[in-house]
């Protein structure tokens, strides 16, 4: 058995002199909100991804909420999305009292099964026979299907073509949750540039961080005016300070956070390269480890962006025991993700139950996120892999009735 060592970080932001300098400049300037730095961050973000507009907000969740509002999502409306994601990708649907319609994942890619999603959109939009079986058991009075939210889970591109085609045919919005996928692409098109809006989040475990912050990319001018108004208490542009045209929010991104984000954006290629090197370090070392499966390579034509490093454990391995063993050795891990439909308040609000989305549930039962960030050393990677192999060997066959 390998020796214990100091605690390894599960995730870590990569900030340095460039970020410090820009933040210090903001603090000395005296403009701490609604100043020039967020405008600079937005301009460089839009340019980097070839969008007409970028709108900075206080979080990825806020960005998704504003995108729901722009898509006209309201009480009783339906929004199609994946149950295998971080809960923030679905919660904004609930903020507007709309109804999430989950579609199971492709077990290989772990992203929403695009063929199933396209069929669900077509069935619901056209009230085809059996369409109600696609809805949550407790859906309440329904209105219209308004949007579809594909998520690029773990930085791996969801399959967009069938989703874009059916959304266009049925006149619904595509809101891309690219919060885990900055810098990923498919056929050369960046994540966040397929839908009417693409949404990013900058929490400290993401590929680039602001501390807290988010960004929306869009080419749609009316949507941009709406986003700018809604993030700032519903003020009209050019209106005087106390004129409010609509119910808005305080979803502003402050200047210090924008400064960190701007410096990080300028380092994006470096940050992504460092994460990819760590990921490849894991993949090559894990190739021969029995009971531990690395994720399938990304679909042809796509480039991933490494958000987390996730493996799948064989079915006869007690994941909790492996996690406890790793934790005892100073190696934190997380079960990524617990499917959204099985969270308690989704179950009670919508009547979801285990068995509703078997592929998402199977993935949720078997996946494990290992410590991952761009500064993870080779020695740390070796330590994680050795300990993981040992814990998995010890936990093999401990789950009764599960074939390997």
Ligand X SMILES: *Cc1c(COP(=O)(O)O)cnc(C)c1O
Residues in touch with ligand X (CB under 6 A)? 59-61, 85-86, 88-89, 151, 177, 179-180, 201, 203, 214
- Which CB sits closer to ligand X, 134 or 151? 151
Helical ranges in 161-254 per DSSP H: 161-170, 221-230
What's the closest the beta carbon of residue 85 comes to ligand X, in angstroms?
5
Query: Are the beta carbons of 91 and 68 closer than 8 angstroms?
Result: no
- Which CB sits closer to ligand X, 85 or 302? 85
Q: Give the whole-angstrom CA distance, residue 100 versus residue 397.
A: 37
What's the closest the beta carbon of residue 316 comes to ligand X, in angstroms?
30
- Which CB sits closer to ligand X, 61 or 185? 61
What's the closest the beta carbon of residue 158 comes to ligand X, in angstroms?
11
Q: Give the whole-angstrom CA distance, residue 140 versus residue 76.
A: 7
DSSP for 89-121 reads: GTHHHHHTT-EEEE-PBPTTT-SB-HHHHHHHH
- Which CB sits closer to ligand X, 147 or 389? 147
Three-class SS of residue 273?
helix
Q: Give the whole-angstrom CA distance, residue 320 versus residue 22.
A: 43
- Which CB sits closer to ligand X, 111 or 302? 111
Query: Are the beta carbons of 222 and 71 closer than 8 angstroms?
Result: no
- Which CB sits closer to ligand X, 149 or 263? 149
What's the closest the beta carbon of residue 151 comes to ligand X, in angstroms?
5
What's the closest the beta carbon of residue 271 comes to ligand X, in angstroms?
16
Q: Tell how many helices (H) and how many strands (E) occur in the chain.
A: 13, 13
Burial class (CB in 10 A: 0-12, 13-18, 19+), 318: buried
Query: Bridge-partner residues for 321, per DSSP?
Result: none
Strands (E) located in 163-271: 173-177, 185-186, 189-190, 197-201, 214-218
What's the closest the beta carbon of residue 373 comes to ligand X, in angstroms?
15
Sign of CA dihedral 70, 304, 376, 271: negative
* DSSP structure class, residue 149: E
Nearest-10 Cα torsion for 291, 292, 296, 297: -140
What's the closest the beta carbon of residue 379 comes to ligand X, in angstroms?
29
- Which CB sits closer to ligand X, 106 or 318? 106
What's the closest the beta carbon of residue 305 comes to ligand X, in angstroms?
12
- Which CB sits closer to ligand X, 201 or 248? 201
DSSP for 285-334 reads: HHTT-TTEEEPPPPPTTEE---S-EEEEE-TTB-HHHHHHHHHHTT---B
Q: Give the whole-angstrom CA distance, residue 341 versus residue 350.
A: 9
- Which CB sits closer to ligand X, 77 or 212? 212
Query: Bridge-partner residues for 214, per DSSP?
Result: 57, 201
What's the closest the beta carbon of residue 348 comes to ligand X, in angstroms?
22
- Which CB sits closer to ligand X, 88 or 388? 88
Cα 221 to chain centroid distance, Å, stands at 25
Q: Which residue is nearest to ligand X (CB)?
A: 60
What's the closest the beta carbon of residue 61 comes to ligand X, in angstroms?
3
What's the closest the beta carbon of residue 402 comes to ligand X, in angstroms?
29
Cα 213 to chain centroid distance, Å, stands at 14
- Which CB sits closer to ligand X, 172 or 191? 191
């Amino acid at each position: 058995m390998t020796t214990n060592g100091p605690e390894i970080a599960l995730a870590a932001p990569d900030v340095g002199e460039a970020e410090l300098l820009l933040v210090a400049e903001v603090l000395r300037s005296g403009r701490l909100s609604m100043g020039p730095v967020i405008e600079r961050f937005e301009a460089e973000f839009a340019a980097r991804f070839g969008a007409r507009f970028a709108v900075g907000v206080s979080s990825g969740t806020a960005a998704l909420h504003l995108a729901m509002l722009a898509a006209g999502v309201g009480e009783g409306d339906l929004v199609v999305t994946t149950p295998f994601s971080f809960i923030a990708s679905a919660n904004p649907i609930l903020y507007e009292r709309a109804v999430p319609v989950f579609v199971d994942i492709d077990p290989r890619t772990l992203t929403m099964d695009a063929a199933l999603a396209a069929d669900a959109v077509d069935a619901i939009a056209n009230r085809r026979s059996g369409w109600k079986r696609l809805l949550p058991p407790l859906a309440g009075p329904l209105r219209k299907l308004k949007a579809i939210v594909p998520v690029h889970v773990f930085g791996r591109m969801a399959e967009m073509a069938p989703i874009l085609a059916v959304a266009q045919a049925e006149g619904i919005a595509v809101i891309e949750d690219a919060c885990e996928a900055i810098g990923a692409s498919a056929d050369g098109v960046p994540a966040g540039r397929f839908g009417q809006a693409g949404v990013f989040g900058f929490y400290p475990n993401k590929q680039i961080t602001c501390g807290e912050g988010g960004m929306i990319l869009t080419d749609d001018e009316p949507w941009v005016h709406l986003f700018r108004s809604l993030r700032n208490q519903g003020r009209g542009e050019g209106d005087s300070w106390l004129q409010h045209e609509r119910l808005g929010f305080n979803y502003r991104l402050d200047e210090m956070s924008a400064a960190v984000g701007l410096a990080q954006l300028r380092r994006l290629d470096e940050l992504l390269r460092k994460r990819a090197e760590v990921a490849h370090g894991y993949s090559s070392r894990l190739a021969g480890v029995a009971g531990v499966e690395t994720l399938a390579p990304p679909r042809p034509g796509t480039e991933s962006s490494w958000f987390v490093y996730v493996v799948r454990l064989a079915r006869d391995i007690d994941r909790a025991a492996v996690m406890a063993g790793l934790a005892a050795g100073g190696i934190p891990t997380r079960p990524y993700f617990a499917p959204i439909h099985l969270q308690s308040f989704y179950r009670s609000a919508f009547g979801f139950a285990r068995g509703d989305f078997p592929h998402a549930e199977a993935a949720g039962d078997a996946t494990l996120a290992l410590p991952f960030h761009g500064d993870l050393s080779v020695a740390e990677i070796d330590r994680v892999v050795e300990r993981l192999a040992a814990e998995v060997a010890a936990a093999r066959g401990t789950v009764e009735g599960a074939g390997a």
